[in-house]
Amino acid sequence: MSAEIRVQEAAFDPGAELSAFTPRAAAAGAGAMVSFTGLVRDLPGAGGLSRMVIEHYPGMTEKALEKIAAEAADRWPLGPVLILHRFGALTGQEPIMMVATASAHRVAAFEAAEFLMDYLKSRAPFWKKEETGDGTRWVAARSEDEDALGRWR
């Protein structure tokens, strides 16, 4: 397993990332690749989302993501792993983050991607703030996200 971890302010194109990931997965003998991409939802209706600002904890963020990737590699036989997360100001419909996994078979690639997402949601120090026509608010953590970790214990 070789993990590529990137925490960046710049926008990215999920397709370009998958194009770069594919030959690395293939060269590692993978038969299955899974990618997950999170997008800023452009909620319709009054006071729709106009902007999202993501704060993070430089230093701890990278350590937390490395740890999550290493734990995934302990549980499943993985080829390359990508974890990419933006911070700063984002507008509607922009990609927020992405993970990609590769393995010999599909179940391992799917499970590892879900594991990375579940841990990233509740254990990596990112905080989202939404700005709408009605004002700004910090996104509240959802108890379902904490509960999702139960699957992996």
Q: Which residues bind other proteins (CB under 8 A)?
A: 38, 54-57, 59-60, 63-64, 85, 96-97, 106, 117, 120-129, 138-141, 145-146
- Strand pairing category for 3-8 and 78-86: parallel
Among a second copy, other proteins, none, the one that 129 touches (CB under a kind-dependent 5 to 8 A) is other proteins
> What's the min distance (Å) between Cβ of 71 and other proteins?
14
| Beta strands 3-8 and 88-90, pairing class | unpaired
Contact partner, 128, from a second copy, other proteins, none, Cβ < 5-8 Å per class? other proteins
User: Cα–Cα distance between 14 and 35 in angstroms, integer?
Assistant: 9
Q: Is 35 left (phi over 0), alpha (psi -120 to 50) or beta?
A: beta
The beta-strand segments (E) located in the chain are: 3-8, 32-39, 49-56, 78-86, 88-90, 95-103, 126-132, 135-138
For other proteins, which is the closer residue by CB, 28 or 32?
32
Chain positions contacting a second copy, by CB under 8 A: 13-23, 25-27, 29-44, 92-95, 104, 106-107, 109-110, 113-114, 117, 148
Using the minimum distance from each CB to a second copy, give the nearer residue, 60 or 152: 152
Q: Which is nearer to other proteins, 28 or 129 (CB)?
A: 129
Q: What angle do CA 113, 16, 11 make, to 5 degrees?
A: 90
Residue 126 binding target from a second copy, other proteins, none, CB below 5 to 8 Å by type? other proteins
Q: Which is nearer to a second copy, 65 or 99 (CB)?
A: 99
3-state class of 109 per DSSP? helix
